[in-house]
Chain A
Amino acid sequence: MYSPTSGPMMSQNKRPIALATRGLTKSFERPAVDALDLTVYGGEFYALVGPNGAGKTTTLRMVVGLLRADAGSITIDGIDALANPVAAKQVTAWLSDEPMIYDRLTPFEYLEFVGGLWGIDSSIAEARARELLGWLGLKPHAHERCGGFSRGMKQKVALAGALVHDPRLIILDEPLSGIDAGTARQVKNVLRERVAAGGTVIMTTHILEVAERMADRIGILAHGRLIAEGTLDELHRRTGKAASLEDTFLTLVAEPVAVA
């Protein structure tokens, strides 16, 4: 279980560090993640973007414990995730691009299940669940089986499941893919609310406009390395492109690979 005595790491500028990877490496037939040093501060919305095959999903799957790293360290909220994975998972939530829920459970039952897995007090979990179902427009369907839901509704149920245990770090892999604009707006609003409440969100996305509008900082990954990182202004200044993140992104990705 998470120990409240292990506080978050602090950066040199005294900002709490929600996630820190050092030398994180993973290879399949070729290097997918190459000695990645990534720092995400507490309370920020961090967007991780990059071309296909850049290593974004591989990086995040190692962080949440779905993939074993070949080398490197992962620290989540001051907890060594490799040495103490259960404690690290207690404060982390993961949402993949494909909503993984149970077709034969209702949203209400699914949230009860997730709350039980995370060991949340049943009354607290239930109150959060009802609140989340309301925010996400799922209240009328709370007692319908998920099998009949659209993809967007399933993604909302999965998002509610990721939030019901009040995680400190929320990691999402392409959460807006394949869902309609209305559902995407609801998801973004909920994520913004989480960041405003002090949580940290790390999100990968191919939709650069979302990263542009929502992210406090953006990291650009290519060939398994972080080639650029910073606020939108900082990235624009680096390339001299002030028009859009898309221009900046394409310029940076086209450059020879360099450590940020």
Chain B
Amino acid sequence: MTVGHRRSMRNVAIALIIFGGFIHLVSYSMVGRYAGARIGPDTATLVVVTGFILLSWSLLLSQAMETVTRVFYSPSDLDLILTSPLSPRKIFSVRIGRIAVEVALLAMLMAAPFIDVLAVLGGARWLVAYGVVAAMGAVATALAVALTVALFRTIGARRARLIAQIVAAVVGAAFVIGLQIAAIFSYGSLSLAPLQSAWLIAHVPNIGSPVWWPARAMLGDGTALLVVAAISIGLLGAAILIFAGRFGDHVVAAAGVSRTVVRHRRWPKTFRRRSASRVLRQKEWTLLARDPWLMSQTLMQILYLLPAALFLWRIFQSRIDAYVLVVPMVVMAAGHLGGGLAWLSISGEDAPDLIATAPISARRIVWAKIAAVMGVIAFIFAPMVALLAFASVRPGLVAGVGVLVAAASATLIQLYLRTQAGRSQFRHRHVSSRLATYAEASSSIAWAMAAALAAAGIWLVLFPAIIAISILCGVRLIGQPVIQAYSAH
């Protein structure tokens, strides 16, 4: 191991320790007060704990569905599996089990800071929560396999992929968004207060109901933990027993899905007269529209704007001037989505040689790609901005400008820090260019803060704006010249 390698490993370890410490601090602020909760709790505590469990489980289900869909539609070792002497049932049983382990491990990793804090403050009994989290992962996997196969059998391989990915995105967002919507309508603020409402506590099952077993298990009830574990293992086992045998047939059928015939119903089968810039933009939009996973990710971005939209509607109704909460959410969402779209258009270009050897100047290519990204951003965020402007002109203008600036900044960052990948690498873009990821996130946060201050009419808006511009300048200094991406001469 070289000296430089040891140094970088040490730096990584230090960064991880700092990050871990920060996460534990955040966890302490969220769950520290519950460390003293006991096994014989009141209904209110059971409701809160169950709410957290359901919230986490919905995210696990979303993750499990995405993983199962990926196994279905991207089986890179399909030939090896089907020609091996082992029975496909055994192979896919192990594969489903592996998905369950992956999901459970991910869940335990995400829950670790919270459980650690509870264990330190409330005793080692809280460590049984890891068992509950693992059980949740098993149940999520079982349900994900059942749902995906059900979709496959009812609507066919071609549509099942899109629907499965949309369901995964919606499930992941639904519980969180539902809770936020309930909070908006009942309390006019964005918090988890509905879980502690008197109405809910009065209408839930009584304290001895099996509904509370996961919460009881989480609080250290050994019997409840055994029951929860047994049920989760039973469900996973049933899923494997029922679906593993036919899994191979479904995977083979799914492998042929890409060969899709495009039925020209309304569109004429003739070439259209368009400029080079326009064909470049149109190509990006067509590829985006035909990518089910991307559509589901975009849909999730829109779904997460729903609470903001409802909050806005409440503001309009009650004339409460609280745009400082809505405007930055919209701006940050625009920055995040813009960064992803820009990555696809720039680093995820599947035919870079074709674009670079086309008789079109590098400047025009760059502007066409920027326009393609900004066009999608405008399409998605225009309704929200219009609604804001209708409620109050200045916050609407601030949000509109903020959306454009945040998305444009993210696009520029991707231009300067571009890599050469392919569309299929989009899921791993955060790993392939960590610097771009951090710069993008920091830029979006800075512009969101600037937008919040501008909407509130506070002159301090200059400071986050300067930070955002500094990030761009820094990226420009260390990144590659933009034009050289599309022309060596």
User: A101 vs B356: C-alpha distance in the bound complex, in angstroms?
Assistant: 13
User: A122 vs B275: C-alpha distance in the bound complex, in angstroms?
Assistant: 10
| Nearest chain B residue, comparing its CB with the CB of A112 | B271
| Nearest chain B residue, comparing its CB with the CB of A171 | B357
6 cross-chain pairs, A with B, having the tightest CB-CB distances, nearest first: A148-B259, A116-B279, A147-B258, A90-B359, A100-B351, A126-B271
- Looking at the assembled complex, report how far the CB atom of B286 sits from the nearest CB atom of chain A, in whole angstroms: 7
Interface string of A109-129 (1 = CB under 8 A from B): 101111111110111011001
Interface string of A90-103 (1 = CB under 8 A from B): 10111010001111
Chain B residues with Cβ under 8 A from A108's Cβ? 269
| Nearest chain A residue, comparing its CB with the CB of B289 | A104
Point out residues on B near A: beta carbons under 8 Å.
256, 258-264, 269-276, 278-280, 282-283, 286-287, 290-291, 350-361, 423, 484, 487-489
User: A119 vs B261: C-alpha distance in the bound complex, in angstroms?
Assistant: 28
User: A161 vs B275: C-alpha distance in the bound complex, in angstroms?
Assistant: 17
The answer to whether A101 touches B286, judged by C-beta atoms less than 8 angstroms apart, is no
The answer to whether B291 touches A117, judged by C-beta atoms less than 8 angstroms apart, is no
* Interface residue A105 (Cβ < 8 Å from any Cβ of B): yes
The answer to whether A68 touches B489, judged by C-beta atoms less than 8 angstroms apart, is yes
The answer to whether B487 touches A122, judged by C-beta atoms less than 8 angstroms apart, is no
The answer to whether B359 touches A105, judged by C-beta atoms less than 8 angstroms apart, is no
Given contacts A66-B356, A125-B271, contact A104 B276 (CB under 8 A): no
Chain A residues with Cβ under 8 A from B278's Cβ? 116
| Nearest chain B residue, comparing its CB with the CB of A109 | B286
The answer to whether A144 touches B354, judged by C-beta atoms less than 8 angstroms apart, is no
Of listed B291, B353, B361, B489, residue having the most chain A CB within 10 A: B489
The answer to whether A144 touches B359, judged by C-beta atoms less than 8 angstroms apart, is no
Chain A residues with Cβ under 8 A from B256's Cβ? 148
The answer to whether A86 touches B360, judged by C-beta atoms less than 8 angstroms apart, is yes
Chain B residues with Cβ under 8 A from A145's Cβ? 258-260, 262, 290
The answer to whether A66 touches B350, judged by C-beta atoms less than 8 angstroms apart, is no
User: A16 vs B423: C-alpha distance in the bound complex, in angstroms?
Assistant: 42
Chain A residues with Cβ under 8 A from B282's Cβ? 113
- Looking at the assembled complex, report how far the CB atom of A142 sits from the nearest CB atom of chain B, in whole angstroms: 9
Chain A residues with Cβ under 8 A from B279's Cβ? 112-113, 116-117
Chain A residues with Cβ under 8 A from B355's Cβ? 117
User: A82 vs B272: C-alpha distance in the bound complex, in angstroms?
Assistant: 32
The answer to whether A119 touches B489, judged by C-beta atoms less than 8 angstroms apart, is no
- Looking at the assembled complex, report how far the CB atom of A68 sits from the nearest CB atom of chain B, in whole angstroms: 4
Chain A residues with Cβ under 8 A from B351's Cβ? 100-102
30 A-B residue pairs with CB within 8 Å: A65-B487, A66-B488, A68-B489, A103-B423, A104-B286, A104-B290, A104-B291, A105-B283, A105-B286, A105-B287, A108-B269, A111-B271, A113-B282, A116-B271, A116-B278, A117-B280, A117-B355, A117-B359, A118-B358, A118-B359, A119-B276, A122-B271, A122-B274, A143-B264, A143-B269, A145-B262, A145-B290, A148-B259, A148-B260, A161-B354
The B-contacting residues of A in range 47-69, CB under 8 angstroms, are: 62, 64-68
- Looking at the assembled complex, report how far the CB atom of B483 sits from the nearest CB atom of chain A, in whole angstroms: 11
Chain B residues with Cβ under 8 A from A23's Cβ? none
The answer to whether A100 touches B352, judged by C-beta atoms less than 8 angstroms apart, is yes
User: A37 vs B489: C-alpha distance in the bound complex, in angstroms?
Assistant: 19
Q: Which of A65, A116, A117, A161 contacts B488 (CB 8 A)?
A: A65
- Looking at the assembled complex, report how far the CB atom of B366 sits from the nearest CB atom of chain A, in whole angstroms: 14
- Looking at the assembled complex, report how far the CB atom of B166 sits from the nearest CB atom of chain A, in whole angstroms: 17
Interface string of A170-208 (1 = CB under 8 A from B): 000000000000000000000000000000000000000
- Looking at the assembled complex, report how far the CB atom of B295 sits from the nearest CB atom of chain A, in whole angstroms: 12
Chain B residues with Cβ under 8 A from A260's Cβ? none
The answer to whether B353 touches A66, judged by C-beta atoms less than 8 angstroms apart, is yes
Q: Which of B270, B286, B291, B356 contacts A65 (CB 8 A)?
A: B356
Given contacts A66-B356, A100-B352, A100-B354, contact A143 B276 (CB under 8 A): no
The answer to whether B259 touches A68, judged by C-beta atoms less than 8 angstroms apart, is no
The B-contacting residues of A in range 1-16, CB under 8 angstroms, are: 1-2
* Interface residue A87 (Cβ < 8 Å from any Cβ of B): yes
The answer to whether A85 touches B272, judged by C-beta atoms less than 8 angstroms apart, is no
Chain B residues with Cβ under 8 A from A125's Cβ? 271
The answer to whether B487 touches A129, judged by C-beta atoms less than 8 angstroms apart, is no
